[in-house]
Amino acid sequence: LTQAISSDLLLRLDRHERRDLRRQLERQLRDAISSGRLSAGATLPASRVLARDLGVSRSVVVEAYTQLVADGYLEGRQGSGTRVRIEPSSATKPPAPSRQDPARGLTAHFVNGIPDQPSFPRRAWERHYRAALQAIPDSGFRYAEPQGVFELRAALSAYLGRVRAVRTSPEQLLICGGFAQGLALVSRALRARGLDRMAVEDPCFGYHRHLIANAGLEPVPVAIDDHGIDVAELARLDVRAVFVSPAHSYPTGAVLAPERRAALVSWARRVEAIVIEDDYDAEFRYDREPVGALQGLAPDRVVYGGSTSKTLSPLLRLGWLAAPDGLFDDLMREKFLDDMATGGLEQLALARFVESGDMTRHLRRVRPMYRRRRDAALAALAAHLPDATPRGVAAGLNLYVELPDGCTEREVAERARERGVFVEGAAWHWARPRQAPPALVLGYGSLSESAIATGIEALGAAFRQPAGVASGASAAPTSSSPAP
């Protein structure tokens, strides 16, 4: 052997090099520490272990360590081996910047796309996760099936059939990293088949429009009104694919009306188009019985997509597609080439969570809470922002609040920020943001009723505040507004 390698520390000694082994080892460790590859406090292997790894005598390692201790790179600690020295200055340095809590210092943070975080069913999840882990045989710690673990596909196909009237089977389901990956897979598969455009609702979630474009398809905007996408306008376009959120479109909250559902399906059949259905927020419908998924009307034409991001948490990154037979292999190819498979442990835990009925119990528990928050938001808007028109109130975790003409959403959002309230404008969700009517997207899902009421009261004050006049209210940390 001419080389001695420690794969743990990425060290490689060359026996042919003139410099002796001790000096090579010393230099490599010093470089690793200086470059930060070995960070302050990192523990080094015991000299016996490293010597065995490298196939050198123990004295080589002991001498190298001793020299580096003398040089101040390493320190030896009684009973706990040798570690990279922690400089007194680095020990007292503030911790590396962490992801700051965006809500810090705010009266109300109307964040979109996040369900109530404290409601995550920690205990049930922990129980299912542990059971799933224990049930995996030793031979099971390999790549999960690219299609998704069978247990989850079986649990979801039964659940989606029962709750959303989706017509599918474990064989037609594909598990992916959130709905976002699912949409990327469909977009790429269609692109590979030669499509170059996909119709999208206008407005739709801006991120999704970018994702579709990133996959090489031109997103073609089609107007959406209170009854969902304008199918007549769609039918006039030369497109063979459309992306819709029939249960609750984002951000407007429009629900696709029954006549439009039928029209959309017959258009898809007539021109042999693919409809991608984002079954977004379907679980949170407050005033009427939820309508079933569009996919149930035309499983041969509709790719159905769902996710745990709103029902449980976007931290999981778990989503799924139910796809027509003709497209399934293409989607599988895209999935396999994307990431081989979605993480199996979470899939197995989710399978148990769904199958045990805990998903249904969880939704039954949180739905009334969201409904009360929605009602609190509507009441506060009526009291403090009566000129604005809330839309999309029947479902979901957000309201689309149309502002009266003549104001700009950016101004209102900035003035609200000065009063400690974070709200998002809706413009970037529109295909042509500059022409977008002024509106706010008010995510109420993760705020208490009282925070919603206080936040909207402050929003009302921000709205009434004449342009160019500072609020004088207690400012959020980033505000630089002068006192009046």
Ligand X SMILES: Cc1ncc(COP(=O)(O)O)c(C=O)c1O
# residues contacting ligand X (CB under 6 A): 13
170 is a site residue for ligand X (CB under 6 A): no
User: Taking the complex as a whole, how short is the minimal distance between the CB of residue 178 and ligand X, in angstroms?
Assistant: 3
Site string for ligand X, 319-338 (x = CB under 6 A): x-------------------
Count of CB atoms situated within 10 Å of the CB of 309: 20
- Residue whose CB is less far from ligand X, 205 or 370: 205
Among the candidate windows 156-164, 177-185, 449-457, 465-473, which touches ligand X by CB under 6 A? Answer: 177-185
User: Taking the complex as a whole, how short is the minimal distance between the CB of residue 186 and ligand X, in angstroms?
Assistant: 13
Among residues 187, 197, 149, which one has the least CA distance to residue 338? 187
278 is a site residue for ligand X (CB under 6 A): yes
179 is a site residue for ligand X (CB under 6 A): yes
- Residue whose CB is less far from ligand X, 73 or 125: 125
Question: The dihedral of CA 319, 394, 419, 453: what is its sign?
Answer: negative
Among the candidate windows 21-29, 78-86, 174-182, 451-459, which touches ligand X by CB under 6 A? Answer: 174-182
User: Taking the complex as a whole, how short is the minimal distance between the CB of residue 426 and ligand X, in angstroms?
Assistant: 13
Of the candidate residues 84, 144, 180, 293, the single one contacting ligand X (CB under 6 A): 180
User: Taking the complex as a whole, how short is the minimal distance between the CB of residue 319 and ligand X, in angstroms?
Assistant: 4
Among residues 52, 50, 58, 61, which one has the least CA distance to residue 23? 61
To 5 degrees, how large is the angle CA 107–CA 111–CA 112? Answer: 160
396 is a site residue for ligand X (CB under 6 A): no
- Residue whose CB is less far from ligand X, 115 or 455: 115
157 is a site residue for ligand X (CB under 6 A): no
Question: The dihedral of CA 268, 170, 147, 332: what is its sign?
Answer: negative
- Residue whose CB is less far from ligand X, 183 or 416: 183
User: Taking the complex as a whole, how short is the minimal distance between the CB of residue 97 and ligand X, in angstroms?
Assistant: 25
- Residue whose CB is less far from ligand X, 125 or 280: 280
Beta strands 241-244 and 274-278, pairing class:
parallel
Residue 418 has, within 13 A of its CA and on its CB side, a CA count of 21
Separation between Cα atoms, residue 218 and residue 233, nearest integer Å: 17
User: Taking the complex as a whole, how short is the minimal distance between the CB of residue 279 and ligand X, in angstroms?
Assistant: 9
Among the candidate windows 125-133, 173-181, 367-375, 388-396, which touches ligand X by CB under 6 A? Answer: 173-181
User: Taking the complex as a whole, how short is the minimal distance between the CB of residue 367 and ligand X, in angstroms?
Assistant: 18
205 is a site residue for ligand X (CB under 6 A): yes
User: Taking the complex as a whole, how short is the minimal distance between the CB of residue 280 and ligand X, in angstroms?
Assistant: 4
- Which residues share a beta bridge with 399? 442
Among the candidate windows 135-143, 175-183, 391-399, 466-474, which touches ligand X by CB under 6 A? Answer: 175-183
User: Taking the complex as a whole, how short is the minimal distance between the CB of residue 307 and ligand X, in angstroms?
Assistant: 3
309 is a site residue for ligand X (CB under 6 A): yes
115 is a site residue for ligand X (CB under 6 A): no
Among the candidate windows 2-10, 307-315, 382-390, 393-401, which touches ligand X by CB under 6 A? Answer: 307-315
User: Looking at beta carbons, which pairs linking 360-365 to residues 24 or more positions away fall under 8 Å?
Assistant: 360/163, 362/119, 362/121, 362/124, 362/311, 362/312, 363/283, 363/311, 365/119
178 is a site residue for ligand X (CB under 6 A): yes
Restricted to residues 221-250, the positions that interact with ligand X (CB under 6 A) are: 245, 250
Give contact residues for ligand X (rule: CB under 6 A). 113, 178-180, 205, 245, 250, 278, 280, 307, 309, 314, 319
